[in-house]
Amino acid sequence: MNCHNVEEGMMDLLEAGDLASLGAGPMAEHIAGCPGCSARLMQMRSLFAAMDDWKAPEVSPWFDSKMHARLREEAQRAPEGFFERMRSRFLFNSAYTMKPLVAGAMALVLVAGGGTVAYEQLHHTATTPSVAVQDLQRFENNMTALQDMDQLDQAVDNASDDAVPAS
């Protein structure tokens, strides 16, 4: 077993407690024989022990009010240009002030999209002929094709009459 594999399994060793609980496995043998891995295991044990003893500091009861005051001060400083003002408005304002802006933008998108769809439907129905007109157009095309075939038949008959010698 190499040091890389042992480092990957080091968390399992920390959860197990000590090497005696692992028995005589290859990982325990490697750590017993490798000074680098055993030192690494001891460092990790001392780190986890220190973290177990550490207590998170209490948050000041005035933290929120101080933070909001600082944000207001920053927001009151007027940014330089239009884009900076818009950026600061999006970053520092609450969601409640943005709701009317978002609602207005969505209404504009819905009106524009609905108007486009309605225009396309009206435009499409005005240019599409009805089923009856389409049937008449097909019939007219068929009649034209039949007349063309009749003219071809007459031309073939006339050509065959001229080509046949009189007996």
The per-residue b/e assignment along 140-150, b for 16 or more CB within 10 angstroms, e otherwise, is eeeeeeeeeee
**Cβ neighbours for 28, distance < 8 A, ≥ 6 positions apart:** 19, 22
Q: What is the pLDDT of residues 68-110, one digit of tens each?
A: 898 888 777 766 788 887 787 777 776 667 778 888 999 999 9
- This prediction has a pTM of 0.33
Let me know if residue 147 belongs to a domain. no
Sign of the alpha-carbon torsion through 102, 104, 106, 108: negative
Assigned domain for 143 exists:
no
Q: Residue 132, Cβ neighbours under 10 Å: how many?
A: 8
CB 57, CB 78: distance < 8 Å? no
Structural domain contains residue 148: no
Q: Is residue 91 part of a domain?
A: yes
Q: Is residue 45 part of a domain?
A: yes
pLDDT tens digit sequence for 118-130: 888 877 665 677 7
17 falls within a domain = yes
Instruction: Report the alpha-carbon distance of residue 27 to residue 43 in Å, rounded.
Output: 17
